[in-house]
Structure 1
Amino acid sequence: MTTPKPVECWLTDMDGVLVHEENAIPGAADFITALQEAGRRFLVLTNNSIFTPRDLRARLLATGLDVPEEAIWTSALATAQFLADQRPGGSAFVVGEAGMTTALHEVGYTMTERDPDYVVLGETRTYSFESITKAIRLIDAGARFIATNPDVSGPSPQGTLPATGSVAALISAATGHQPYYVGKPNPLMMRSALNRIDAHSESTVMIGDRMDTDVVSGLEAGLRTILVLTGSTRRDQVQRFPYQPTRVVDSIADIVPLVTELRPLTGPSSD
């Protein structure tokens, strides 16, 4: 077996790892500070495509976390990059918000309802019957179906909200066409993040709170993974999965010492 390489770069999920709703998780600020002081390359990842990186930076700042705009990578950015690689200068009809439309504009895409190359479904707080109907008709007419992520629900202070995956299921049922999901658990999002910071999979770690998205996408992209127990997956659920993270820790606070020491991360182990 080859010896694991020292950890030089870090990818981390946002919700459930760094923040919970509108509050920073204890240790998150220390983790970001440690990354910056040690000069480590890093990205904060999120499947949420509603917001632009500038919006998310402001949200994180409000919780006390100072994350540079360029260190935030969203499923909207990954989707836009994927489409720009697949069909440069193409067109799309978007069901989503500013995070998605801005990302597509920045890669040279045109937003249109007239014979678009793609229907792109992202997260939104105001799904409308009219826009969903338009998406269905465009897909029936030949537009390719893309979705930012397969999450079927998301949290809110008022309770569970339907998310992209739920609306995608509705559109798929009506059209008979399944979307191609770009965000986690597709390892494509990990690969695009690695390329963003010029990182190598063998020297990068993915931190997440979900076994079925963060950990599996990290593993499939060749990364070592750390599961934190401050979000979706509980400790008693970990062993039920056919794959395991490199390490399981209580929270992001436990990872701070690993950032300051340039050494390999080995496993499996549980702290």
Structure 2
Amino acid sequence: MTILIPTCERVTELLTAYEEGALGPLDWLGLKLHLVLCPPCQTFLDSFERTPALLRRAWDDEPTPVAEHALSGALAALREGRVPKGPQHHPEPEAWTALESAGDPLLGILLRLHLGHCESCRDTRGAEKAIPPTADPLEAIRPHLPPETQWRWTRYGLGGGRAALIQKNAATGAALHLTCLPGGRTSPRHNHTGLECALILAGALQDGPAHLRAGDWITHQAGHLHGPTADPGTECVALVALEKPVQFLGWRRAFGLFGQ
């Protein structure tokens, strides 16, 4: 689209605020112009507007005033940038098997780091294996990884994005990477050929609908296409376990698979 008219992806991000009447005048105008030009987004908005009514029909009873008040408070907190402390995105139940004696040691490092950030997961999974966070995100993990002299750094974006291959399982091809994305920059769009599990060590980023901060965990299955964007003002550092390499799109495809 244009500077004034947002993309389809941006429109989906604005719809909740639009429905709540919380959009600024420029965003409101841009969204309206986009909808005039984009039939698919008109259809999406129609479905979006009909969802609450469909949900109410699915409920046996009308939502209580307490529930309505809680929802209104949550939406207000999101609009004002107030979010709860601590990780908001947690490992899937099946991921925790990596901490067992025969589990995946690469995933195990990510899980132990998440435990260090997350009090609720320590309460349910135990605190004995947690790696506590430190002011320097690398300080906490250095004792658990090969020496930095063995890390193989690669620049994957013209905006300064880079990643280091830290450890690789010769038998399975799975690999552990440290990725660094400058504030405000977007990672080159890429496709996953295998499972990816990532943990944010420092900074924050937007990955599709998920806003991730230090300690947050996210999983992507094979075939997932994305290009996350770091929050402005600070570098986002993440530890990423790849089951198989990723394939960049566009001209970067000529350089082959990343993570081999």
TM-score relative to the length of structure 2: 0.28
Q: Greater relative contact order (Cα 8 A, min sep 6): structure 1 or 2?
A: 1
TM-score relative to the length of structure 1: 0.27
The structure with the largest alpha-carbon Rg is: 2
